[in-house]
Structure 1
Amino acid sequence: MDVCVIGGGYTGLSSALHLAESGCAVALLEANRLAWGASGRNGGHVGTGQRRTQYDLEKLYGRDIAAQLWRAGLDAVELVKSLVQRHQIDCDLQTGILHVAHKARLSAHFQADAKLLQDHYGYTRSRFLTRQEVCEELGSEVFHGGLQEADALHLHPLNYALGIAKAAHRAGARLYEGSRVTRYESDARGVTVYAANGYRVRARQLVLGCNGYLGQLEPRISGNIMPINNFLAATAPLGQEMASSLVRGRQAVQDSRFVINYWRTSDDTRLIFGGGESYRSALPRDIAAIVKKRILGIYPQLAEAAIDYAWGGKLAITLDRMPHFGRLGNRIYFAHGYSGHGIPTATLAGKLIAEAISSRSEQFELFASLPTRAFPGGTLLRWPAMVAGMLYYSTLDRF
């Protein structure tokens, strides 16, 4: 076997697809079902850029690196779009994301972001919206302005992941569900991967696409990410008139809170709404009540709307909210810590890992060169420190 991939989410599936298309013999091992984790349970938003604003990236890395990261972000969105079209993935692909300011002072930040993108990057597809314009777009009066991304996308996340899986299978990748990896060994000739079901894979290269489910499989990098749970709910079908009054034109929406709210309407007129987090391994019992409270803070007119489905998913964040790419030695590649920007970035990560294994990838080296910080105290103390920080910023969201 040329490459063994661990993890059946976007990172692993995209890696398997692009490696198989390049002629590599690929085996992918997934502990549960394909897309069982956050790849099948997220809000479906495919935003441009990175998780941090371009202003932040210029301060962190300088304008040249920030510009390269901006182009990589656009490439990631285009890659998602091209995969959907090329492999005819039925995932309700739609265009447009509206970012909205939950505080008045943040509206000016959105206006500055649009100007920065136009002046420094020649990008004119982001448009600032006034408070009145946002109210007209959303049928809610709680926001103070916004930034509309015309090139951003949103989609049905599980169907998208399963579509990539089918494409990878057709390209020749072998995909094994129910194959939880317990350990692996690396030597001068390759890597041997051991699964709890008795499977053993011998390969020249290894890809770690585990993200929030990495655990202690690879302690050298596990301290750089923090797994957290995020919650979503879907209302009963609202009817076309009500759905259109909540979100104009099927665009997706994200607010500016530290623990953000994000939503869109589905093809069958449900409101798909995400919001709230927890930092323990187990999910809370009543996710529907947690999310419904957040919905009513924006749309009190939905007080009588039933919640048909509610669920949670585990993602991984980094301290600086930028993804963590890299290699361990010359055989093991990884990418994780997408911090809520996973659909485009993880899809691109898989492609870049495949390029790096087959030859060389300048964009993989770009991401791998970004300085990273482990959580203080590593995996032992990151949880209490992170919870304290999250509680502090979520308190600021409310006041």
Structure 2
Amino acid sequence: MIDTNEHAKSYYAATKNWQTEYPELKGEHHCDVAILGGGFTGMSAALRLIERGYNVAVVEANRVSWGASGRNGGQLIDGFVMDLDKFEKKVGKNGAEIAYQMGIESRDVVLDRIKKHNIDCDLRFGFLDVAMNQGDIDDFHEWIEEKDKNNYPHKMEFVTKDELRNHIGSERYIAGVINYGNGHLHPLNLCIGEARALVEQGGMIFEQSHVNKIQHGKNPKLITEHGVVHAKKIIIAGNAYLQKTEPKLAGAVIPAGSYIIATEPLSKSLADELLPSNMAVCDQRVGLDYFRLSADRRMLFGGLCNYSGRNPKSITGVLKPKMDRAFPQLKGKKIDYEWGGYIGISMNRIPQMGRIQDNTYYVQGYSGHGLCPSHIAGNVIADAIAGDSERFDVFDKVWHLKLPGGLWFANPTLALGMMWYRLKELLA
């Protein structure tokens, strides 16, 4: 996997609706809010701010949606990855309730943007969580009971192994839970569609513009090699790719690799055999597999979350056997695309949202579950800038561990921790 300034050579990049060609930042520019990062968080915040009457500029080091926003599995899943019971101990009952409602709203933010801006991104509804053991099944029943108790707005259905055959053509799984409100989509087309909507409403986007310095203080600015954006407020939304741009965030988020392969287009009969109801699917393991069909009937199969900081020599070489194990019907099928990138992992799995100074905000660390959460996070930071900080303050009060020693220490430490959890799964 070789990163360049252009989009990764993925299925998404090969089928994007248009090539983004926004100008490089040159010279002096002024705005109300400058945003570092052209992914989902940055675009969501920018659109919300534009709606509130702010003048906005987004500065992206590479291309819009170049990072995880344009490389992920395309899973439309509401909620946060964190344990809300543990979160309640940190922020109180009211704070946990606010976070729960934010999680529900996160999916709606995405759908509203798609509808409002007429974004073509292959949206499909239906998400299937599958069980591989009795422990998973027990968790599913508790999960549904908890959702019912909290008046969860979307239909959920437990399916037995016999019923599961109506949704997935694999003998590997023994039960499942369907969420009819969640689903899947083309993430790159979603984000570049949001970018187009932003520019149409007067927002500025600069690509190929790596921020070398964030100047804080009374008159903050984003500084690149060839230009400067002066702003009243700054939002830092670089996530796993922020690196050393903001020293005060160093060590707070650990970049972990995540990878996907895409098969050649499948016949309709085979696609219908594999995933008859065209839902997105994932299992419940720490190192989970996730998969779905693309609009042109390719199997997109992802997983291989790598916490070591090293990329595999062959993404296909590792993921293809996993896919064939789940779907023996795909043995011999050609892999047309393989790609990967980094996701930002927070040590407690809670998204990190806060201020560096009164006029500098940041959000990062979605821990592999960011499509919907990044959209609500962008809205929440925009609202905080506009003076409504109740939801922002819930997350801002959470303390986050920063691993010392840089990535040479943090990535191996995280890798050892995840190996322990995977060993526990095997022993169970």
Query: Which of 347, 350, 373 is the aligned partner of 1:319?
Result: 347
Correspondence list, 1:155-194, <5 A? 155-188=185-218, 190-194=219-223
Corresponding position of 2:289: 261
In 2, the alpha carbon distance for the partners of 1:113 and 1:122 equals 11
Q: Deviations over 1:167-196 (max 9, x none)?
A: 1111111101110011121122x2122113
C-alpha spacing 1:52/1:149, structure 2 compared with 1 (3 Å): farther
**3-state DSSP of counterpart to 2:403:** coil
C-alpha spacing 1:201/1:31, structure 2 compared with 1 (3 Å): same
Corresponding position of 2:247: 219
Displacement of 1:242? 1.1
Q: 1:211 is aligned with what amino acid?
A: N
Gaps of 5+ in 1: none
Q: Which moved more, 1:137-146 or 1:202-211?
A: 137-146
Displacement of 1:122? 5.2
In 2, the alpha carbon distance for the partners of 1:378 and 1:120 equals 41
Q: Deviations over 1:253-280 (max 9, x none)?
A: 1110101111111111111111102245
Displacement of 1:55? 5.5
Displacement of 1:137? 1.6
**3-state DSSP of counterpart to 1:313:** strand
Question: Which of the pair is proportionally richer in helix?
Answer: 1
Corresponding position of 1:111: 141
> Is the counterpart of residue 85 in structure 1 residue 112 in structure 2?
no
**3-state DSSP of counterpart to 1:138:** coil
Query: Which of 138, 142, 164 is the aligned partner of 1:134?
Result: 164
Corresponding position of 1:238: 266
TM-score after normalising by structure 1: 0.94
Corresponding position of 2:81: 51
Q: Which moved more, 1:14-23 or 1:232-241?
A: 14-23
C-alpha spacing 1:326/1:216, structure 2 compared with 1 (3 Å): same
Query: Which of 374, 392, 403 is the aligned partner of 1:346?
Result: 374
TM-score after normalising by structure 2: 0.88
Query: Which of 243, 247, 255 is the aligned partner of 2:275?
Result: 247
C-alpha spacing 1:163/1:341, structure 2 compared with 1 (3 Å): same
Corresponding position of 2:4: none
> Is the counterpart of residue 383 in structure 1 residue 395 in structure 2?
no
For the Cα contact (< 8 Å) 1:25–1:173, is it kept in 2?
yes
Aligned Cα RMSD in Å? 2.0
Query: Which of 358, 374, 380 is the aligned partner of 1:330?
Result: 358
C-alpha spacing 1:230/1:368, structure 2 compared with 1 (3 Å): same
Query: Which of 316, 322, 325 is the aligned partner of 1:288?
Result: 316
Q: 1:132 is aligned with what amino acid?
A: D
Displacement of 1:22? 1.9
C-alpha spacing 1:130/1:53, structure 2 compared with 1 (3 Å): farther
Corresponding position of 1:33: 63
Q: Which moved more, 1:146-155 or 1:133-142?
A: 133-142
Q: 1:87 is aligned with what amino acid?
A: H
Displacement of 1:283? 3.2
For the Cα contact (< 8 Å) 1:275–1:294, is it kept in 2?
no
Corresponding position of 2:328: 300
Displacement of 1:53? 4.9
For the Cα contact (< 8 Å) 1:3–1:205, is it kept in 2?
yes
Q: Count how many residue pairs are aligned between Structure 1 and Structure 2.
A: 397
In 2, the alpha carbon distance for the partners of 1:255 and 1:122 equals 22
* Matched-pair identity in %: 34
Displacement of 1:50? 1.3
Q: 1:144 is aligned with what amino acid?
A: I
In 1, the alpha carbon distance for the partners of 2:335 and 2:422 equals 24
C-alpha spacing 1:328/1:55, structure 2 compared with 1 (3 Å): closer
